[in-house]
Chains A and B, each alone.
Chain A
Amino acid sequence: MKGIILVDPYKCLGCKSCEIACSINRSSSKDLSFATLSKNPPGVKVKQSRNFIVPLQCYHCEAAPCMAACPAKAIRKDEKTSAIIIEQSLCVGCNACVIVCPYGIPELKYNKGGTIKCDLCFSRLEKNQKPACVCGCPTGALKFETIENLFNERIR
């Protein structure tokens, strides 16, 4: 499966279900009660400015500035899904990606050993599952669409 996460901010109620779903998916147990113990930070953040609430995921840019900036070559592009992924084992926590990202997506977590950001749930996509945040959204504010579908819809 190949596609992008679409956000409809008018439908986002700020319930942070996507954050929870993301944290669970990043945990090894994949279970809420155990995931709370491992305290995995989510790759999606629900942010508010005035009355406007929006969940922020990585946009997985075609020409990703973070990938170009990473001195440790820890950021790579997944062939099948086009997801931009940080390889945690290579990340040195230098903050270069945090500095260059135009959307303020990567977040440095020292205690977790590196920088964290959305990986488009590429391992789920390989199994033909939608990203965890999309599945966790109760109002349909988050959607997963292929670029072709989106393009065709916009043209219509």
Chain B
Amino acid sequence: MKNINEIQMYQQRFESQKPQCGFGLLGICCRNCALGPCRISPFEEGAQLGVCGANADTITARNFLRMVAAGASAHSDHGRAVAETFIKVAKGEAPGYEIKDEYKLLKLAFEMGIKIDGLKKEEIALQVGEKCLAEFGKQEGSLILTKRAPLKRQKIWTALNIVPRGIDREIVEALHRTHMGTDQDYLNLMLHASRCALGDGWGGSMIATELQDIMFGTPVPVRGRVNFGVLKENCVNIIVHGHEPLLSEMIVLAAEDPQLVQMAKDKGAEEINIGGICCTANEILMRHGIPIIGNFLNQEMAITTGAVEIMAVDVQCIMQSLPLVASCFHTKIITTSEKAKITGAIHISFTEENAFEKAKEIVKMAIENFANRKKSDISIPEQEMDLVAGFSHETISYILGGMFRASYKPLNDNIINGRIRGVAGVVGCNNCKVVQDSVHLKLVKKLIENDVLVLQTGCSAIACAKEGLLDSIRGLDFCGKGLREVCEAVGIPPVIHMGSCVDNSRILVAATALVKEGGLGDDISDLPAAGAAPEWMSEKAISIGQYFVASGVFTIFGVTWPTLGSENLTRYLFNEIENQLGGKWAFESDGEKIAQLMIKHIDEKRKKLGIDRARERILFDMEMRRQL
């Protein structure tokens, strides 16, 4: 066994990477062909054109589009895996999985134009699943779920010819356009970036969210706990880490198996304790109240507690260093996806057909590994925090309107009367270049202090959960007066956890619901709303940001911005794109200033809607009524 002091953790690895190459940071390095690699000098001296003649605008635009394509691929391939499982569930070929939310299934079937008369739920599910899967390979027309967007938004997309035709097609076209000597106009490249990203937000991600809800249940508010303290010294601790709930759902199920629970007790453990990291954590928290250990940058630290028997991972945001860190402890790292293997980890192949069996195998391995713990290695931090999660779009409209008149009306009313200033989506990753979680917290606290309701997903939600902002009592202490009043009346925390990073599609749906409810304009770009990813690091974040911008949302990213090497492209993304799409990007790394920018934008939108001043309340007497 190695000594933990002999290996490097992410902080040291980051230090030894310094200085990081400025060309890469500015986005002006191109290695798309073997004429290069070419770099454009940001100074007067040095090369201003690549060998093929590409300038800084083209190179940064191509790099940006490739980031969007990779991010959209990650979400959409996740969506595809869910759709494939869904079809197998409908056919009865996936033991352990079931159709849990029939109501949502029927609603989706209706949206997709499927006749449901006289069909059993499995038959409907099969048709829905096949239709969803076909969305990926569709060649023409438009994605079905883009029809959910406000009509004005759809018209903007049609006018610019950026309605996504098929999810895969747009990604392939993005790679084609960025190939050497193809699309060399940065504005044209950026139009496709919007199209590709929309195929993610209103396509791949949305399909993932919808089908997961139907299969595993639409989240409803649930109490949970977060931070390292949820690891228990006298329990068998299993961590699930990654993104797709297909694996974690089964492990949760397997851990409840009475035989395995008994086996754990025989080995001297009190029970089997499951914790999550990253978006897998969000998925099982939302549906089962399973505790969260931490977000992205906590993954290595979780192992160093010495109390983790197994970390089972699937796809995305998994550090390759995990097996190395685990080699200093008794922890075993298990990869489960054929798409994601790590050298040094144990691979247990996980398919829909054998999912439950394999999950049981993993739990059994964890129980057997419990005896290998070294008492002296165990040090679990005590910190723990309560939270409330599980706010899907359906749940929010139920909370606000009840079963029979579910709606967003009370929210719209309170935005109009000014108790709630606006809505902000704060999402995204952790980044080692800033103190972990610090920018998220600074930003979110400032927002709720100024009566802005915050919707969250992903690692950002976990960051705020650790601080207690997602607790419906503790969170109120940070609120402004107006927001507090509404939160107390409705019984929600001021920071609303909407799920994992594919669940950003829920925010799109919620924004559309706000528009359709009336009173706040007729497009998403009219809403007093803004988005931010203050500690982003992954390509998925860029894709999410771009689909929000293309859906009309003002979106601010922190830490670093990948197009700064091109003045023209940066100006387009930060300004000119607003004339086309109604949304725009901004870059600001200070949490306080991000909040100021968002609030300023929200106030401008309120002014445009004419709801910036409290309206005088006039009591109508009989005479005035007659005149109406």
Residue positions of A touching B, CB distance < 8 A: 11-16, 46-48, 53, 138-140
Contact = CB atoms under 8 A, between A and B. Distances in A.
Interface size class of B (residues with CB under 8 A): 10 to 19
Given A138-B41, A139-B41, A140-B41, A13 B18 contact: no
B622 interface: no
A141 to B, nearest CB: 8
B23 interface: yes
Contacts of B42: 13, 139
A15 B45 contact: no
Interface in B1-48: 18-26, 39, 41-43, 45-47
Given A47-B19, A138-B41, A13 B26 contact: yes
Given A15-B22, A140-B41, 18 more contacts: A13-B23, A13-B25, A13-B26, A14-B21, A14-B22, A15-B21, A15-B23, A15-B24, A16-B21, A46-B19, A47-B19, A53-B19, A138-B39, A138-B41, A138-B46, A139-B42, A139-B45, A140-B43
A16 B22 CA distance: 10
A12 B42 CA distance: 10
A46 B43 CA distance: 19
Contacts of A53: 19, 22
Nearest to B41: A139
A94 B219 CA distance: 67
B43 A15 contact: no
A47 B20 CA distance: 10
A54 B537 CA distance: 25
A46 B19 CA distance: 7
**B interface, by DSSP: helix, strand, loop or mixed?**
loop
A111 to B, nearest CB: 18
B46 A48 contact: no
Nearest to B18: A48
A11 B42 CA distance: 9
A140 to B, nearest CB: 4
Which 9 pairs between the two chains have the least Cβ-Cβ distance? A13-B22, A14-B19, A140-B45, A48-B19, A15-B21, A53-B19, A48-B18, A139-B41, A139-B46
Given A13-B26, A15-B39, A140 B46 contact: yes
Nearest to A53: B19
Contacts of B18: 14, 48
Contacts of B23: 13, 15, 138
A14 B18 CA distance: 8
A21 to B, nearest CB: 14
Contacts of B24: 15
Nearest to B21: A15
A133 to B, nearest CB: 15
30 contacts: A11-B43, A13-B21, A13-B22, A13-B23, A13-B25, A13-B42, A14-B18, A14-B19, A14-B20, A14-B21, A14-B22, A15-B22, A15-B23, A15-B24, A16-B19, A46-B19, A48-B18, A53-B19, A53-B22, A138-B23, A138-B41, A138-B46, A138-B47, A139-B41, A139-B45, A139-B46, A140-B41, A140-B43, A140-B45, A140-B46
A139 B39 CA distance: 9
A13 B23 CA distance: 7
Interface string B43-59: 10111000000000000
B446 to A, nearest CB: 25
A129 B46 CA distance: 19
A12 B24 CA distance: 13
A44 B535 CA distance: 33
Contacts of A48: 18-19
Contacts of B46: 138-140
A27 B360 CA distance: 55
A11 B44 CA distance: 10
A87 B22 CA distance: 35
Q: Output the residue of A11, A13, A15, A48 with the most chain B CB within 10 A.
A: A13
Contacts of A138: 23, 39, 41, 46-47
Contacts of B45: 11, 139-140
A14 B22 CA distance: 6
Interface string B118-141: 000000000000000000000000
A153 to B, nearest CB: 16
Nearest to A48: B19
Nearest to B47: A138
Nearest to A143: B45
A46 B46 CA distance: 19
Contacts of A140: 41, 43, 45-46
A140 B44 CA distance: 9
Contacts of A12: 22
B469 to A, nearest CB: 31
Contacts of A14: 18-22
Contacts of B25: 13
A125 B24 CA distance: 32
A57 to B, nearest CB: 16
Contacts of A46: 19
A14 B45 CA distance: 16
B506 to A, nearest CB: 38
B19 A139 contact: no
Nearest to A10: B43
Nearest to B22: A13
A47 B15 CA distance: 11
B577 to A, nearest CB: 27
Q: Output the residue of B24, B26, B45, B47 with the most chain A CB within 10 A.
A: B45
A12 B43 CA distance: 10
